[in-house]
Amino acid sequence: MKINLKQELTKQWFKNLQEIICKNIEEIENNKVLFKSKKWIRNKKKNEGGGESKLLENGKVFDKVGVNYSEVYGKLPNEFKGKIPGISRNTNFWASGISIVMHMRNPHVPAMHFNTRYINTSQNWFGGGMDVTPCFKDYKLKKWLHKKLKKMCDRHNKYYYKKYSKWCDKYFYLPHRAETRGIGGIFFDYKKNNWEKDFNFVKDVGLEFIKIFNEIIIKKNKIRWTKSDKEIQYLKRGRYVEFNLLYDRGTKFGLQTNGNIDAILMSLPPLAKWK
């Protein structure tokens, strides 16, 4: 398949997924709180792509949820040489993806994150994953989540779950606190075995995320919460901010490639506290 067609198919998938997930979230909010959409372009002078970031705030279920789609291209800054595959000689790149972070009103509903992307340099690969961050220890939820993810992964390759769930724990780790961000999930990058199979996996990760966040909300949103639960959530969100600003590669990539600030930092919680 031609590279342009692959780009076309992946970006359409990401775009459609954005639409589906936003509708789903608005339904959870009984269509009383809606997304606000912002389209942005990377460079006003040159055509270097852009995106659409959608934000819903102050819902009954969601405190803040951002659903970002982007398609960006052009040249990467030189500092990426040696850090990203396939840009040793020329620094041309093309990237499209969808990323979502959900910060929930009820502290018993975990924060949830999902992202999938397709990146082209002189090499082409998929990346992505999802992870779940409860405010309270929740071994049962962890077991349930990983069972779901294993089942989904197993449909594609029996080695995926082990590899990608380990990668997730390693990636979403706060070394200065010696703790993982949450209860894990899956994370993968530089995925370039077989384009069709990889793309099928990427699509399945997106669909599985929809099932997972809906089920988690149904399970957890009915639990009553107190003001002191909310305070614990604010502190946990402080850790979320620390991870995203100190370590997250996606955040760094966005900032260094002149991405849209509001879209990049949409992952930050609406309100965070530090003791």
Residues that bind a second copy (CB under 8 A): 57, 175-177, 234, 238, 241-242, 245-246, 255, 261-262, 264-265, 268-275
- Minimum CB distance to a second copy, residue 241 (Å): 6
Catalytic residue check, 113: yes
Q: Which is nearer to a second copy, 135 or 202 (CB)?
A: 135
- Do the Cβ atoms of 70 and 259 come closer than 8 Å? yes
Using alpha carbons, select from 219, 9, 165, 179 the residue that is nearest to residue 96: 9
Helix (H) or strand (E) holding 190: strand 185-191
- Minimum CB distance to a second copy, residue 47 (Å): 22
Using alpha carbons, select from 197, 181, 150 the residue that is nearest to residue 246: 181
Q: Which is nearer to a second copy, 210 or 245 (CB)?
A: 245
Strand segments (E) across 20-171: 36-41, 49-57, 62-75, 92-104, 111-120, 124-133
| Residue 187: CB atoms within 10 Å | 21
**Cα–Cα distance between 271 and 241 in angstroms, integer?**
10
DSSP bridge pairs for 132: 112
- Minimum CB distance to a second copy, residue 263 (Å): 12
- Minimum CB distance to a second copy, residue 271 (Å): 5
- Minimum CB distance to a second copy, residue 266 (Å): 8
The two tokens of residue 21 are 């997930």
Q: Which is nearer to a second copy, 138 or 229 (CB)?
A: 229
The two tokens of residue 224 are 């009553």
Q: Which is nearer to a second copy, 19 or 77 (CB)?
A: 77
**Cα–Cα distance between 106 and 111 in angstroms, integer?**
10
Q: Which is nearer to a second copy, 191 or 237 (CB)?
A: 237
**Cα–Cα distance between 70 and 14 in angstroms, integer?**
9
- Minimum CB distance to a second copy, residue 248 (Å): 10
Residues in the chain: 275
Q: Active-site residue among 108, 113, 146, 156? A: 113
The two tokens of residue 33 are 């709180």
Amino acid type, 225: W
Q: Which is nearer to a second copy, 66 or 86 (CB)?
A: 66
- Write out the catalytic residue numbers: 113
